[in-house]
């Protein structure tokens, strides 16, 4: 997962060298790191990161940021509001730093776990240190709410997980780092997960085995009524709880799928009828339940979902099956899996591969969308040919300019779309907003729906409108709607915009990657003139026709709004 | 604590500090691996981190706090010169 473009700049008021070393040598080998010169954190924040493509880690001790908090630790009576004002000043400096960085991660403030402060009085409002610190952390997160590329990470969890030796006074006295390597390791893992999330490298689907993964026992042998699942039994409870954790993942937009060696009707009957099943048939985007090779079945599921191995986690209780899938499908994440179901939920949480910088409407609706997709596929099976099927879908595309309401989803598409992506520019929400603000730039979003349901915002066009030539800088479309003539509808809209700006030629230059061959194939068959292997042109004296099977909605409104 | 048990604790500490080192510079788990002195791979922060890790491992194993980090670590003939000398030093300490 390491990518050479990951660069991390550390700003801290303690010796953060161990964290930088952990990240660059173990957690993310190859990542480039740099540490701000020793000195006040505020000065380092004001100086900014080395360049705009660096991300930052800003980690401070609360007593160094808030003089009021330092006094509170000495049991002085303090005005808490004054501490919150100090937090706001600090947060403003972090936000200004973040405006010059790709993304910034800010661990929450923590106290040494051995400190009892006021003891039994410590949680009395306006007295204790611990509640003041908790409110300072909330104030920090609130103050950074409007900085879209700043992410506050929960450092208290690292300390709690590391145990009593996570905080090292000795390391603090000897090396000016209060955190033991066990905490540093956890911090590095969370920061790496956040980097993956920002870069769109989060996993998007979990493919699961059934027997002894979602339930205890073999359904083929004991029948659905004999499975260990839920009920007044600690093993059954563990499986039900694991299912709840998986169900929660679907709310975050992670898809679930099944690959199981079983008789399909028997397995589906258990899913449909077992009263303690948390996950039901509609929670799974795809499945292969048969006696074929598991690696082939995993590949078939990924083909169904139009997703790659790099997007996928495979969970199986069998070491043999895990080894087989790991060897056959490079890039897939196949975690070692604990034998005890009581550890399943913890094992899932420890994967740290589902981080995303956004939570969009499309994420929340994703599993429902896959259910709609199964209905479409059923209709396709009954259609005489592909064109009839596409016409029967009644696809409608709504065009909107980039706006605050669709910014998160647009940035998400920029960072997750691989196959139908002309230039594969990875832009944060801030970078995208800045690019779109230039007068010669225009970013259009495409929302797609059909008679089966709403696909959500799935397409983006970025245009650079020159005097004679309009350049298609970005052209990206979610894999869920590829091949349904939405691509041609997007080109139709892009050409209309370019014509409205009196450009004579629309130019698209593809930047080839290992994943965007489908995009190249589309442009080859698009009707545009191939000026070279990767450059395509359209003479704007002619409109680019919209396909008959796609209706473009509200296009005129958007065109009118950008008329020069 | 016998010398073999002490050596295992030192190896556990090596696992910890190796996470901070590039692959090519990682300490091998062998008695003659140099920790401090000519040919050692650790810088001053690495030495401090390593010694504190050894202290923690010994404390975990024996239930008693130990004090190994002092100004004599870096002098000629220090017990921290190699893994083997450190293991002997830990084993020879009074329980």
Examine the domain organization and report whether A28 and A160 are in the same domain: yes
Instruction: Report the gap between the CA of B22 and the closest CA in chain A (Å).
Output: 5
> B53, A181: Cβ pair inside 8 Å?
yes
In a domain, A104, yes or no: yes
pLDDT at position A557 is: 61
Examine the domain organization and report whether A318 and A465 are in the same domain: no
Examine the domain organization and report whether A243 and A308 are in the same domain: yes
Examine the domain organization and report whether A143 and A214 are in the same domain: no
How far is A189 from A58, CA to CA, in rounded Å? Answer: 16
How far is A519 from A517, CA to CA, in rounded Å? Answer: 5
Instruction: Enter the tokens of residue A11.
Output: 């700003």
- Cβ–Cβ under 8 Å, residues A369 and A480: yes
Number of domains in chain B: 1
Examine the domain organization and report whether A108 and A60 are in the same domain: yes
Which chain A residues contact residue B45 at CB under 8 A? 15, 17-18, 175
Which of A472, A489, A564 shows the shortest CA–CA distance to A526?
A489
Per-residue buried b or exposed e for A45-69, using 16+ beta carbons within 10 Å of the residue's own CB: beebbeeeebbbbbbbbbbbbbebb
Examine the domain organization and report whether A404 and A523 are in the same domain: yes
Last residue of some domain: A172, A198, A224? Answer: A198
Strands (E), A375-468: 395-401, 420-421, 441-450, 453-465
- Cβ–Cβ under 8 Å, residues A505 and A538: yes
Non-local (6+) Cβ contacts of B34 within 8 A are B40, B41, B81, B82
Residues in chain A: 564
In a domain, A96, yes or no: yes
pLDDT at position A559 is: 56
Select from B23, B48, B56 the Cβ nearest to the Cβ of A175.
Answer: B48
Examine the domain organization and report whether A133 and A185 are in the same domain: yes
How far is B42 from B56, CA to CA, in rounded Å? Answer: 19
- Kindly report the CATH number assigned to the domain that includes residue A174: 3.40.50.1110
Which of A402, A559, A561, A563 shows the shortest CA–CA distance to A496?
A559
Select from A15, A17, A181 the Cβ nearest to the Cβ of B19.
Answer: A181
- What is the pTM (predicted TM-score) of this model? 0.81
SS3 B34: strand
Select from A15, A168, A185 the Cβ nearest to the Cβ of B52.
Answer: A168
Which chain B residues contact residue A165 at CB under 8 A? 56
Instruction: Report the gap between the CA of B20 and the closest CA in chain A (Å).
Output: 5
Examine the domain organization and report whether A57 and A127 are in the same domain: yes
Does the pLDDT of residue B76 top 80, yes or no?
no
pLDDT at position A564 is: 38
Which chain B residues contact residue A26 at CB under 8 A? 19-20
pLDDT at position A370 is: 74
The model's confidence at residue B95, banded by pLDDT at 50, 70 and 90, is: low
pLDDT at position B73 is: 73
Examine the domain organization and report whether A318 and A380 are in the same domain: no
- Phi first, then psi, for residue A361 (nearest 5°) are -60, -35
Select from A25, A29, A174 the Cβ nearest to the Cβ of B48.
Answer: A174
- Kindly report the CATH number assigned to the domain that includes residue B29: 1.10.1200
Which of A117, A120, A143 shows the shortest CA–CA distance to A65?
A143
Q: What sign results for the dihedral spanned by CA atoms A21, A27, A30, A36?
A: negative
How far is A32 from A35, CA to CA, in rounded Å? Answer: 11
Last residue of some domain: A198, A222, A257? Answer: A198
pLDDT at position A467 is: 81
- Kindly report the CATH number assigned to the domain that includes residue A398: 3.40.630.30
- Cβ–Cβ under 8 Å, residues B50 and B17: yes
Which chain B residues contact residue A180 at CB under 8 A? 52, 56
> A29, B23: Cβ pair inside 8 Å?
yes
Last residue of some domain: A321, A349, A377? Answer: A349
In a domain, A315, yes or no: yes
How far is A103 from A55, CA to CA, in rounded Å? Answer: 5
Examine the domain organization and report whether A497 and A374 are in the same domain: yes
* Exposure of A331 in the CB half-sphere (CA atoms within 13 A): 12
Domain extent, residue A404, equals: 361-561
In a domain, A117, yes or no: yes
- Kindly report the CATH number assigned to the domain that includes residue A325: 3.40.50.1000
Examine the domain organization and report whether A61 and A128 are in the same domain: yes
Q: In tens digits, what is the pLDDT along chain A, a chain of 564 residues?
A: 434 479 999 999 999 999 999 999 999 998 999 999 989 999 999 999 999 999 999 999 999 999 999 999 999 999 999 999 999 999 999 999 999 999 999 999 999 998 888 889 888 878 889 999 999 999 999 999 999 899 999 999 999 999 888 999 999 999 999 999 999 999 999 999 999 999 888 999 999 999 999 999 999 999 999 999 998 899 999 999 999 999 999 988 899 999 999 999 999 999 999 999 999 998 999 999 999 999 999 999 999 888 899 999 999 999 999 999 999 999 999 999 999 999 999 999 999 999 988 877 777 777 777 778 777 877 787 777 888 888 888 999 999 999 988 998 999 899 889 899 999 998 888 889 999 999 999 999 999 999 888 889 999 999 999 888 999 999 999 988 898 999 999 999 999 999 999 999 999 999 999 889 999 999 999 999 999 999 999 999 999 999 999 999 866 666 544 443
Examine the domain organization and report whether A464 and A533 are in the same domain: yes
Select from A17, A25, A171 the Cβ nearest to the Cβ of B52.
Answer: A171
Instruction: Enter the tokens of residue A96.
Output: 């200004």
How far is A72 from A84, CA to CA, in rounded Å? Answer: 13
SS3 A100: coil
Domain extent, residue B47, equals: 3-92
Q: What sign results for the dihedral spanned by CA atoms A422, A425, A426, A428?
A: negative
> B52, A170: Cβ pair inside 8 Å?
yes
Q: B-side interface with A, Cβ within 8 Å? A: 16-17, 19-23, 45, 48-49, 52-53, 55-56, 69
Instruction: Report the gap between the CA of B2 and the closest CA in chain A (Å).
Output: 25
Number of domains in chain A: 3
pLDDT at position A378 is: 78
Which chain B residues contact residue A15 at CB under 8 A? 45
In a domain, A178, yes or no: yes
């Amino acid at each position: 997962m390491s990518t050479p473009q990951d660069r991390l700049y550390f700003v801290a008021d303690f010796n953060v060298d161990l964290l930088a070393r952990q990240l660059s040598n173990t957690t993310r080998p190859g990542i480039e790191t740099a540490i701000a010169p020793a000195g006040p954190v505020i000065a380092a924040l004001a100086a900014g990161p080395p360049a705009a493509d660096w991300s930052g880690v800003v980690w401070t001790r609360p007593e160094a940021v808030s003089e009021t908090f330092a006094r509170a630790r000495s049991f002085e009576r303090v005005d808490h509001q004054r501490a919150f004002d100090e937090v706001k000043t600090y947060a403003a400096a972090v936000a200004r730093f973040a405006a010059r960085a790709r993304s910034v991660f800010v661990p929450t403030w923590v106290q040494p776990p051995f400190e009892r402060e006021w003891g039994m009085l410590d949680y009395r409002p306006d007295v204790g240190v611990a509640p003041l610190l908790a409110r300072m952390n909330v104030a920090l997160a609130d103050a950074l709410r409007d900085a879209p590329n700043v992410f506050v990470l929960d450092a208290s969890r690292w300390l709690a997980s590391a145990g009593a030796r996570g905080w090292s006074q000795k390391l603090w006295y000897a090396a000016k780092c209060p955190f033991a390597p066990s905490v540093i390791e956890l911090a590095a893992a969370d920061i790496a997960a956040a980097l993956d999330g920002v870069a769109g490298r989060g996993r998007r689907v979990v493919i699961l085995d059934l027997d002894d993964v979602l339930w205890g026992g073999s359904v083929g042998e004991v029948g659905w009524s004999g499975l260990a699942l839920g009920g007044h039994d600690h093993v059954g409870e563990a499986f039900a709880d694991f299912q709840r954790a998986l169900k929660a993942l679907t709310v975050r937009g992670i898809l679930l799928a099944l690959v199981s060696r079983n008789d399909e009707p028997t397995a589906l009957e258990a899913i449909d009828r077992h009263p303690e099943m948390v996950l039901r048939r509609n929670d799974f985007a795809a499945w292969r339940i048969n006696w074929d090779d598991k690696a082939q079945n995993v590949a078939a599921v990924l083909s169904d979902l139009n997703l790659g191995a790099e997007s996928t986690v495979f969970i199986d209780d069998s070491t043999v099956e895990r080894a087989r899938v790991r060897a056959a499908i490079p890039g897939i994440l196949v975690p070692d899996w604990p034998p005890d179901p009581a550890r399943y939920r913890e094992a899932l949480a420890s994967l740290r591969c589902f981080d995303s910088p956004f939570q969009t409407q499309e994420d929340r609706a994703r599993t429902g969308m896959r259910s709609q997709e199964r209905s479409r596929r059923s209709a396709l099976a009954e259609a005489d040919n592909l064109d009839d099927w596409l016409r029967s879908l009644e696809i409608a595309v709504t065009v909107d300019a980039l706006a605050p309401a669709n910014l998160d989803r647009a940035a998400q598409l920029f960072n997750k779309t691989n196959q139908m992506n002309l230039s594969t520019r990875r832009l944060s929400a801030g970078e995208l907003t800045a690019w779109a603000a230039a007068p010669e730039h225009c970013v259009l979003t495409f929302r797609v729906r059909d008679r089966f349901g709403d696909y959500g915002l799935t397409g983006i066009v970025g245009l650079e409108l020159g005097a004679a030539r309009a350049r298609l800088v970005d052209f990206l479309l979610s894999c869920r709607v590829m091949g349904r003539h939405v691509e041609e509808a997007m080109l139709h809209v892009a050409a209309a915009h370019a014509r409205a700006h009196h450009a004579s030629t629309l130019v698209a230059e593809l930047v080839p990657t290992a994943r965007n061959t489908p995009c190249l194939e589309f442009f080859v068959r698009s009707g545009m003139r191939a000026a070279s292997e990767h450059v395509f042109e359209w003479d704007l004296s002619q409109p680019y026709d919209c396909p008959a099977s796609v209706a473009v909605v509200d296009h005129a409104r958007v065109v009118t709004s950008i008329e020069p | 604590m016998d010398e073999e048990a002490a050596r295992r604790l030192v190896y556990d500490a090596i696992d910890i500090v190796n996470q901070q080192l590039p692959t090519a510079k990682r300490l091998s788990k062998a008695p003659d691996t140099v920790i401090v002195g000519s040919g050692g791979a650790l810088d001053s922060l690495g030495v401090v981190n390593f010694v504190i890790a050894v202290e923690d491992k010994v404390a975990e194993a024996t239930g008693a706090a130990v004090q190994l980090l002092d100004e004599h670590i870096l002098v000629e003939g220090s017990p921290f010169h190699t893994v083997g000398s450190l293991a002997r030093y830990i084993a020879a300490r009074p329980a």
